Structure 1
Amino acid sequence: MKLRVLVFINAFAVALTLSVANYYFQHSWKAVAVTFSATIVVSFIIFYYLIEKYVYSKIKLIYKQIHNLKLGRDLRDAIGEHVSADPINDVEQEVEEWAAQKKSEIESLRQQEKFRRDFLSNISHEFKTPLFAIQGYIDAVQDDDFEDKDMARKFLEKAAKNVDRLSYLIKDLDEISKLESGEIPINYTRFKINDLIKEVIEASEMKARQHKIKLVFKHKYDDAVLVTADREKISQVFINLVDNSIKYGREDGTTSISLFELHDQVLIEITDDGIGIEEKYLPRLFERFFRTDSSRSRQIGGSGLGLAIVKHIVEAHEQTINVRSTEGLGSTFGFTLQKAKQQIQFPNIPVLKN
């Protein structure tokens, strides 16, 4: 409601009240008309002056301060700025928007705090497990004083494996930190995604054979699909996803890789027919150290950071990654890459010699 309308309503109410009272005592319509006209004019002027001076001007200043706070400006910048003709309505809208924004920020902070607590709990657990194992093996060897050399050798080998696990954890954490901070640049090159998939399949063939899993590339190798991305980092994405499908695949199962050419992107999907993932776990699958089955995951091995690294690499390319899964049937991880622009080839024009 605008100021003049608000003032007029108040002035009309006062004038009407006085006019009714005047008619009650004098019973003269002429006196009522004069009283009503004079009262509404005087009341309008007084109310307008008082509200403008002591209320409206303060509301304008509050509106300017709220507006400048939202824009991140200094409060001193609020003075002298233009304000719309209806600052009361604007203040209401600004306050509602500000309250909704603050509520969203508080909820985000709560989620971040929960994530921080979970992360600290997970990382402490991930580090404690190999550290305690190393300490136990070394203590056992020291207590035995190397009298049983075969036992000492086995314990030292197990301790060495746990040291390797710690090294993987630290390396992966360092890589995620650098990816988040942008310290690791994305070196874009133009390459055939088919060739990279073939290389990853060949590199993973032995491990897949050990788990009795067949690797299949559904796209024809001779159909070149060019993308623009960081070849080394995308190779890491493939290795992590294929390795994940082998770890959680079923015996005599299949891991297949498919390519789909979209308008200006290429969709790559890695599908397995393994144990699958419960639907409730899918939103958290790319979180650091998140495991759907902790006991089995630790037996299989890995740092628990592979999918988090995959997500960071794909998002660093300004692309998306998603997962579809059905428990007991298998999982499909899909991510997009930018399709390489076709290079214009000019025909060879013979040069005429004089």
Structure 2
Amino acid sequence: MAPSKVYFTNMRTTLEENLLQKLERLCREAGMERIDFHNKYAAIKIHFGEPGNLAFLRPNYAKVVADLVKKLGGRPFLTDCNTLYVGRRKNALDHLDAAYENGYSPFSTGCHVIIADGLKGTDEALVPIDGEYVREAKIGQAVMDADVVISLTHFKCHEATGIGGALKNIGMGCGSRAGKMEMHSSGKPYVEEERCISCGSCRKNCAHGAISFVEKKARIDHSRCVGCGRCIGVCPADAVQPASDEANEILDCKIAEYSLAVLQGRPHFHISLVIDVSPFCDCHAENDAAIIPDVGMFASFDPVALDMACTDMANRQPALPGSHLDGREDGDHFCAAHPTTDWKGTLLHAEKIGLGSTEYELVEI
């Protein structure tokens, strides 16, 4: 596969051009204008940030992308799917509250915010891909209803995948609750009995008769359970938990295959900002100090090349004193931050299945 072009600009500004204007110029020069947006729905996949975390991308950046889509005749919306874990983004109502709290509203971004997998994370499209690990990806319905997909990613470390780049934003981020469970788990959900309040919501919402109550505590029959994750979404006490027991190397491959399910067969474009590079995901309700200086903004039609370029450029930066990397430096910031992960896994599998190339040409503007 021929090297893909990745466009890059640093975070320097002039009196004539601020960072928001520079981001629009980056998108235009990277070729976003070549996409036919006329009367098309454009999903801008973004992470709204868990409240309490301040490393997430400012909504000002999202407004630049949304405004450009509108200038090109499209109908943009910002989107993400509900989370599998306990937090402020587990259902669409709380998720929207969190997004608004962090500044992502129609008034600040110029477009609507849609939680792609619905109220409880069960509004999904089943997308056949016949992958090595995934046969049928479970993707948030609103993402699959879009005509164009744009990823706008805060590039950072990640405790399970090494890097949190475009592929992580797309693959894991667009999975419904059942999809996220499929990526994270080789098993089925289980009940933390001390949390169970015997309300019966899980049993009521189980379509397969897998849940019963023994001594007023829910039990899940794994021989009946299909791993859809509905019980996790409806439990008001967070007693039902996913079995996060998948090996990281398989998790990486599943994320690549889910990314393929999202992107195949329609136009897509990808933007990553390597700024405020925190050692953990924006899903945390806190963010640690940045591990490296801000690098810049990147854009490409190839999400694999984009992630590779962002990682390479980040690894060329010095580790910041007093950060999570202080005393752990080994030449690869992401392996140093999370030694049990291999950030190359998702990229190499994505390249193998034809999603892009790890070879790239960096074009600086």
TM-score by length of 1: 0.23
Normalized per residue, which structure has more strand? 2
TM-score by length of 2: 0.22
**Relative contact order, higher structure (CA 8 A, sep 6+):** 2
